[in-house]
Each structure stands twice: as structure tokens, then as C-alpha cells.
Amino acid sequence: MQNAQPETAEQCTDSLPAIIGRISGVIASEQFPNSDRAALKRMSPNKEPPLSFYRFAFRHLPPNWQTRREAWQALLSGMALMSPHIHRPDRPLGRVLAEELYSEARLERLLGTEGEPRRTLVLRMVRFLAARKQPVNWLNIAGLLLITDTDKREKLHMQIATDYYKNLKDKEQ
């Protein structure tokens, strides 16, 4: 395995899927300091982040991350909570939630919120998944936190709901 240095934020020209894959790998890495991972886990959506967040952000997030600091803060906190079982592109969020019998009412509340309440509910959902050691496609979660365009957000909600109900139906049979 190559020991290449991770790309820094200044060098980042990647798409969101590449960014999510890279940062989840950094957080799950055995070389990532446990103290930084613990600090990221303890972050709260309604409080100022620790310096370890800023250190990580300036090294690994895209250059414009500051415009959506709270969303990135929730995203990194969630990934740290799920470490080392973080990102699996082949496991859509809706499917995993259905397989783990995540409450339909909780999902409805999550998809119906915005801003700080959404960030709080995302972290609750992440804790649910972390307790079950269930990695998930973090691109879905990143979308919940980062997408502001109404049409794109609705498309993401529709995909999550489709995956949820298709797999929940399979569980009920």
C-alpha cells in the first residue's frame, strides 16, 4: 500500500464523492490521532468547534468549507462517531435505516427539518447507526447537510424514502 500524503484542501479539486471518501478514510485511519477523533465526536451543532476541527478542515475540506461550517462540523462529528465503520458507497442510507428498523417517524422528522434541528437529528441518526456498527453511504448524509437547492434536496429525500420503503417492505415480509 502506498504511503502518499493526503491531498490538502488547497489542492482539492475533487467532487463531493471523492471528498467524502477521502475524509472518511482519514478519520478512520489508525494514524489519525485518537485525541482529534475524540474531539470531533464531542462536537455539538450549536457550539463553537474545537481547534482540532479547524486543523482538520483546513487540511482536508474543500476551500469553501467556511461558508457551510456548521454543516461540515456535523458531518465530521458524525463520521468520527461512526469510526471506524464509516463510509460504504454500496450501502444507501435509506436501505440501512430500513434494515436496522429505524423509526419511520424519526425519518419523517429528519427529512422535514432544516438548519440546526436537521444537524441535531442527523447526529442522532448517526449515533443510532454507530451503535449498530453499520457503515452507510455518507454521500447521502452529506447531501442532507450540504444541499441547499430545493429541487436537489427533494430528489435526495425521494431517493432516501424509496430505499427506506423498498427495504422496509422486504423486512416486513
What are φ and ψ of residue 47, in 5° steps? -125, 160
* pTM check: above 0.75: yes
Residue 5 within any structural domain of the chain:
no
**What is the grid cell recorded at 38?**
475524540
Quick one: CA dihedral 150, 156, 160, 162, positive or negative?
positive
| Domain harbouring 135, CATH code | 1.10.520.40
Which structural domain, as residue segments, surrounds residue 29?
13-172
β-partners of residue 136 are 87
Residue 4 within any structural domain of the chain:
no
pLDDT tens digits for range 114-169: 999 999 999 999 999 999 999 999 999 999 999 999 999 999 999 999 999 999 86
pLDDT at 102 over 70: yes
